[in-house]
Chains A and B, each alone.
Chain A
């Protein structure tokens, strides 16, 4: 069934991905650039280093419809975490800490969200209903996120097809986790409540690289509005991945698009290898129903362990337990991801659910290392009734935690006989991923009764239409037609000066490539040389382009003018040199000719270049090089270039 063996990341081909049935969709979170937060009037985008106070809370699952807690809820409750919020009074008020009901939704944020919805060709909902989406990890102190779907059924162009945008929602951002050790999890609260949009695509991407490419399109579209936040953490991707017979797994919080290909590759591999593991278990006669595991308290057996983690456990008076997984011999070393094995799946669960956060938190009989002397292993195996065909996992912790751990080890091992368990997983910087929590279902939404539904009227949408940019893929096509150099197009498409570009080309008839170079390349070039280009603004660019179009400034003078503006720290019209008249030019030419008359060069043909240089040094910015070349009868084509 699962004969295919994953190749290295570089060697995988689109056909390989096709063979394993790779499928992926995106959920992109993007912070909006507003002055204030979404449901209160705290400033947005202010991050604190110092904190004035702490608040401690617990998250308690509420009953779902069958009278049982849903998967995630149950797991979070098992963990019994103290959630501690670090608060700074300048960035957090009583709303974020769930001590005050929400204020009305920030209109600026909603406008930006709606604008982006239109860019993605979505249908905008007529009436906004705020929902509560449960999160029990404590990342939001209420225990739920206020979120509302405002747009549905959009699309973006990709290759020769359309990728469907399933839905877009506007929501409040969550806390930043500081640490999660043992039974205590700390959060910083400054980011909490900042306005965010989530854009969900259909799982239309068939290779890891397609996922990244689509992510770029989405990212460029939102960036083109210039009304979204930039920088670390301002845009975060959740990637859903599945393979044939696998499970939709959500990898949360991918900080950079460039990490997506390797992450999705590893997740596909993990799922595929878990399916192969299931097959291997079946061969050994282990299916869900026949799965067998037993646990034993072996605290008294390993009394004086030399292995440090176990020694510490004994010193702390912890319990040491063994779990025998019948027929699992060798399988804890079954590869799941790059340099990652099935034992990691178990260790992750123990870490998250049993709160045994000091790694290593388990050892097992399939590992090659000699953590415990073989004599001890023999004793452990004996008391655990383990045969050569079995694997033994050892775990340690307080009575309660070690009990939870034993249960989780057995749960995760049994799941191996079923397939790929539904989970959300977190991205790890090496491109693999780790367990975060059991995947929550749709069964965690209910209406927010604190705020009334909100009508979205056509007037509002019409106003938004006046500021939203052209879709960048529309711009892209036009730029290509205009023959703009390929390397400038991506930046120009999302530039805040794209409208100015259009005006300069269409209304003022400036050469399109020149405009593109002025607006994108020159500032970049100057910045590279250490100039502070922040002084250059739309008015200045506009003035320069207009002057070019009116012949007041030669095109080849623009860079030096920009430089002068930056150097003088301000823009006045004096910085623009007055055009030289013919008399002046002739004087400069004859003086320059005089100057080089006695200069002898090895290659006399270079004399023309020398002459041009001398003349241009005296007249730069006041007359174009092409004019001079014409006047001195210079034929070197290089001079004609704008640069």
Chain B
């Protein structure tokens, strides 16, 4: 027993008061203050909250904070602890349905609430998931494995490698589709690196998450999960995809190619967009509708190629006016082996950086150019400056998104130190990260306010 458990989150004065009355968290109490008495359950306190208050869940279900300095007495009437266990319902087995594996990396796909305490408890095992999203059983026989429990921003190369290897194993075992639960912030980094590490997959590999936490009735989590499981179980698209909301309405999801997708809004449900191209397909509860035909098809073999390597000493440099060369120099000095620049316009940086780029070349650092406009190609022949930079060893990375070029460069450098070979790997499209042409409907950011756009919005649910 320790204060950390018994008085979780309390410190300073509030901890003193709780200790004085031997009042552990989850105690059912009556708190007497000089302004009246309050009945309720003492809850753990958030680590970041102040040290002056005690949190009480009162019988109507609300929480209130009571200033510890006002407390005269605490009468303890009992104890009710949060039950962090979800009752499981066995996930029904149907021999006619495909086997789908759900790999978890962190974040909550589904959860339940413990109203007595207000705790949100994640659900993950097939039984738990079946309890909260029973529709999943309409599509598949689900197996789950929790690989990691990390926030999306903490996903690191070791996790990518572990994930790729886990996928390889599952395919060898014969699963007919894989779903990967992932936080949304870096989902497109992971989808890109998996597109390189896992090649020639015979089955769909679908990444999914949620923009609104699964504890709320309006969450996109359940529908995203249903869409992704349907895709993994039934679609003939054997690629690494991101499956998230198309519009903000609960209508359909989009299946984005793992190397062309990007999170484009900090909070919207429809935050994932395919950049410089169109998505592969739409998916609803009822059907998967391809938007194009040039995807890799599902196969019956198990001939997946796992190439899970990564050189960590790679950086993205997001160029801004007046960037000083010491930014590049510090990367060289720190032993970085690769730099992806997100340049302005067609792929530019300012002239004062040139000597630093020359030093990078001499130090054997691989330098690739991408565009911070996100849409469009690097084109370094158009202006003289671009040609000068190419002479300095900067290699244009076509229309690879900066994050995609970053993970691909780490992956290429993980395979070889020979910069010529790295260049060959970088510029050879593997999973749609470089496309030969940008279709005219690949760039669509329409502006609100324009009559024709407003008309469209009015006619079609957002």
Q: Determine whether B250 belongs to the interface, using a CB cutoff of 8 Å to chain A.
A: yes
A457-B251 Cα distance, complex, nearest whole Å: 46
Interface pair A98/B218, CB less than 8 Å apart = yes
B444 within 8 A of A: no
> Within 8 Å of chain A (Cβ to Cβ): is B149?
no
Contact A62 B448 (CB under 8 A): no
Given A101-B267, A131-B63, the answer on whether A56 and B115 have CB atoms closer than 8 Å is: no
In this assembly, does A59 line the interface, its C-beta being within 8 Å of a C-beta of chain B? yes
Q: For the complex, is B445 an interface residue (Cβ under 8 Å from A)?
A: no
Question: Distance in Å from the Cβ of A236 to the closest Cβ of chain B?
Answer: 19
Complex CA distance for A293 and B267, rounded to whole angstroms: 50
Contacts of A60 in B (CB 8 A): 217-219, 222
Residues of A within 8 A of B213 (CB): 449
Judging by beta carbons under 8 Å apart, are A442 and B113 in contact? no
Q: Are A56 and B249 in contact (CB under 8 A)?
A: yes
1/0 contact string of A27-69 vs chain B (CB within 8 Å): 0000000000000000000000000111111111111111100
B42–chain A nearest beta-carbon distance, Å: 13
With A142-B218, A143-B216 given, is the CB distance from A64 to B115 under 8 Å?
yes
CB distance from A440 to the nearest CB of B (A): 10
A153 at the interface (CB under 8 A from B): yes
CA distance A147 to B62 in the complex (A): 9
B87–A66 contact, CB under 8 A?
yes
Q: Is the pair B65, A127 in contact by a Cβ cutoff of 8 Å? A: yes
Shortest beta-carbon distance from B50 to chain A in Å: 7
CB nearest to A63 among chain B residues: B112
Contact A55 B114, CB 8 Å, known A63-B131, A101-B267, A129-B64: no
Q: A62-B112, A65-B113, A67-B86 are contacts. A136–B217 as well, Cβ < 8 Å?
A: yes
In the complex, what residues of A have CB within 8 A of residue B249's CB?
A: 54-57
> Which residues in chain B, 78-108, are within 8 Å of chain A measured between CB atoms?
83, 86-87, 89
Q: Which residues of B contact A126 (CB under 8 A)?
A: 52-53, 64-67, 70
Distance from B245 Cβ to chain A, minimum over Cβ atoms (Å): 10
B297 at the A interface (CB under 8 A): no
Considering the complex, give the chain B residue whose CB is closest to the CB of A56. B249
Instruction: Flag if A444 contacts B216 (CB, 8 Å).
Output: no
**CB of B158 closer than 8 Å to a CB of A:** no
Contact with B along A435-453 (1 / 0, CB 8 A): 0000000111111010011
CB pair A446–B454 under 8 Å, yes or no, is: no
Q: A60-B219, A152-B36 are in contact. List 9 more A-B contacts (CB 8 A).
A: A54-B249, A54-B462, A58-B250, A63-B113, A99-B248, A125-B65, A444-B61, A453-B49, A453-B53
- B62 near A62: Cβ-Cβ < 8 Å: no
> Once the chains are docked, how many angstroms separate the CA of A64 from the CA of B217?
12
B36 touches A52 (CB 8 A): no
For A445, what are the chain B residues with a Cβ–Cβ distance below 8 Å? 60-62, 115, 118
Q: Using Cβ atoms and an 8 Å threshold, which residues of chain B touch A65?
A: 83, 112-116
Question: Whole-angstrom distance between the alpha carbons of A562 and B132 in the complex?
Answer: 69
| Distance from A71 Cβ to chain B, minimum over Cβ atoms (Å) | 13
Check A442–B115 contact: CB distance below 8 A: yes
Report if B35 contacts A (CB, 8 A).
Answer: yes
Instruction: Looking at the assembled complex, report how far the CB atom of B362 sits from the nearest CB atom of chain A, in whole angstroms.
Output: 48
Contact of A591 with B by CB under 8 A: no
> How far, in whole Å, are A99 and B212 apart by their CA atoms in the complex?
8
Is B216 within 8 A of A144, CB to CB? yes
Contacts of B211 in A (CB 8 A): 99
Beta-carbon contacts under 8 Å, B35-65 to A: 35-36, 38, 46, 48-50, 52-53, 55, 58-65
Residues in B299-332 with C-beta less than 8 Å from chain A: none
Is B383 an interface residue when CB atoms closer than 8 A count as contact?
no
Q: Give Cα A141 to B214, complex, Å.
A: 14
- Please indicate the chain B residues that have their CB under 8 angstroms from the CB of A628 in the complex: none
Query: Given the known A-B contacts A63-B86, A127-B53, A455-B53, are A52 and B454 also in contact in the complex, defined by CB atoms under 8 Å?
Result: yes
B133 to chain A, nearest CB (A): 9
Q: A548 to B118, alpha carbons, bound, how many Å?
A: 62
Q: List 9 A-B contacts (CB under 8 A).
A: A57-B218, A59-B218, A65-B83, A127-B55, A152-B36, A445-B61, A446-B113, A452-B49, A455-B50
Task: Tell me if B120 counts as interface (CB < 8 A to partner A).
Answer: yes
Judge whether A446 and B215 touch: CB under 8 Å. yes
Least Cβ–Cβ distance between A79 and chain B, in angstroms = 13
- Our pick among B36, B48, B61, B123 for the contact of A452 (Cβ within 8 Å) is B48
Of all chain A residues, the one with the shortest Cβ separation from B55 is A129
Do A123 and B36 touch across chains, with their CB atoms under 8 A apart? yes
- Shortest B80–chain A CB gap in Å is 11
Residue A134, interface by CB 8 Å: yes
Determine whether A620 belongs to the interface, using a CB cutoff of 8 Å to chain B: no
CB within 8 Å of B: which residues of A? 52-67, 73, 84, 89, 94, 97-101, 123, 125-129, 131-136, 141-144, 147-149, 152-153, 167, 169, 442-447, 449, 452-453, 455
Residues of chain B within 8 A (CB-CB) of A152 are: 36, 38, 58, 64
Q: Which of B132, B248, B267 contacts A63 (CB 8 A)?
A: B132
B292 at the interface (CB under 8 A from A): no
Residues of B within 8 A of A128 (CB): 64-65
Residues of A within 8 A of B217 (CB): 59-62, 73, 134-136, 142-144
* A-B pairs under 8 A by CB, number: 172
CB distance from B348 to the nearest CB of A (A): 34
Give the dominant DSSP class at B's interface.
loop
Chain B residue at minimum C-beta to C-beta distance from A148: B62
Task: Chain A residues near B131: list those with CB within 8 A.
Answer: 63, 67
Kindly provide the distance from the CB of B344 to the nearest chain A CB, expressed in whole angstroms.
Answer: 29
- Tell me, yes or no, whether B111 is within 8 Å of chain A by CB: yes
Most buried by A among B52, B58, B67, B115: B115
Given the known interface contacts A66-B87, A446-B115, A446-B215, the answer about A455 and B52 at a Cβ–Cβ threshold of 8 Å is yes
With a cutoff of 8 Å between Cβ atoms, the chain B residues found around residue A149 in the complex are 58, 60, 62, 64
Flag if B64 contacts A125 (CB, 8 Å).
yes
Bound-state CA distance A612–B335 (Å) is 108
Q: Which residues of A have CB within 8 Å of B35?
A: 123
Contact of B111 among A62, A100, A135, A452 (CB under 8 A): A62
Contact A56 B461 (CB under 8 A): yes
Q: Decide if A53 touches B462 in the complex (CB within 8 Å).
A: yes
Asked whether, in the complex, the Cβ of A94 is within 8 Å of the Cβ of B268, the reply is yes
Given contacts A55-B248, A94-B267, A153-B36, contact A444 B58 (CB under 8 A): no
Interface centre among B111, B112, B248 (most CB of A within 10 A): B248
| Residue from A123, A127, A135, A442 within 8 A of B60 (CB atoms) | A442
B173 within 8 A of A: no
Distance between B52 CB and nearest chain A CB, rounded to angstroms: 7
- Cα separation A65 to B115 with both chains bound (whole Å): 6
Contact A99 B268 (CB under 8 A): yes
Give the residues in chain A near B115, CB-CB below 8 Å.
64-65, 442-446
Within the complex, what minimum Cβ distance (angstroms) separates B415 from chain A? 41
**Most B CB within 10 A of own CB, among A61, A73, A129:** A129
Contact of B457 among A53, A64, A100, A123 (CB under 8 A): A53
Residues of B within 8 A of A132 (CB): 216
CB nearest to A76 among chain B residues: B217
On chain B, the residues within 8 Å of A53 by CB distance are: 457-458, 461-462
Q: Which residues between 182 and 237 of chain B lie within 8 Å of chain A, taking CB atoms? A: 211-219, 222-223
Residues on A with C-beta less than 8 A from B222 are 60
- Residues of A with C-beta under 8 A to B216: 62, 98, 132, 142-144
Q: A60-B219, A452-B48 are in contact. Are A446 and B118 (CB under 8 A)?
A: yes
User: How distant is B120 from chain A, measured CB to nearest CB, in Å?
Assistant: 7
What are the residues of chain A within 8 A of B454 when measuring CB–CB?
52
The 5 tightest CB contacts between A and B, nearest first, are A127-B65, A143-B217, A445-B61, A67-B87, A63-B112
With known contacts A52-B458, A63-B132, A446-B118, A453–B219 Cβ distance under 8 A:
no
